[in-house]
Amino acid sequence: MTRLARLASLLILAAAPALAADPVLGTWRTQPGDDGHFGFVTMAPCGGKVCGTLSRAFDARGGAIPSASVGRQIVWDMQPKGAGKYEAGRIWAPDRDKTYSSRMELTGDRLEVYGCVLGFCRGQIWTRVQ
């Protein structure tokens, strides 16, 4: 086997875990924030981690609203730990304009998202958008 073929094989094997579909990937509806607004967050791979981008924003009545935050990455560096758990990530909460250390736990179509800053923690339950 040539050196180039061995290198290509090694790269393919190394990339295989990153290419496998993670069950948290997809779009999630957030719980309403302090202002009653909620959003859709699209989770996608970012390197060997998981990140989420605010893809749509809605008012308290469910009407789509324009938002400067749409398109912004609000979840980043989530590290899959197995059994539906993700840790050591960060999350930005648009309703409070704060960034939290974060973790997530996936059970079926329910994603529990937690964030803490300076010992103050909060959580939300997000549901999968079908």
Give the global pTM: 0.81
Q: Residue 8: inside a domain, yes or no? A: no
Q: Residue 5: inside a domain, yes or no? A: no
pLDDT (mean) for 37-56: 96
Q: What's the number of CA atoms in the CB half-sphere (13 Å) around residue 117? A: 9
**Domain of residue 83, CATH code:** 2.40.128.520
| pLDDT value for 96 | 87
* Helix, strand, coil abundance in the chain, percent, nearest 5: 15, 55, 35
| pLDDT value for 9 | 40
C-alpha dihedral, 27 to 101 to 83 to 11, nearest 10°: 80
Separation CA 84–CA 63 (nearest Å): 31
Q: Name the band, by pLDDT with cuts 50, 70 and 90, for residue 34.
A: confident
C-alpha dihedral, 58 to 24 to 79 to 107, nearest 10°: 100
Q: Residue 9: inside a domain, yes or no? A: no
Tally of domains within the chain: 1
Question: Domain range spanning residue 92?
Answer: 21-128
Q: Residue 52: inside a domain, yes or no? A: yes
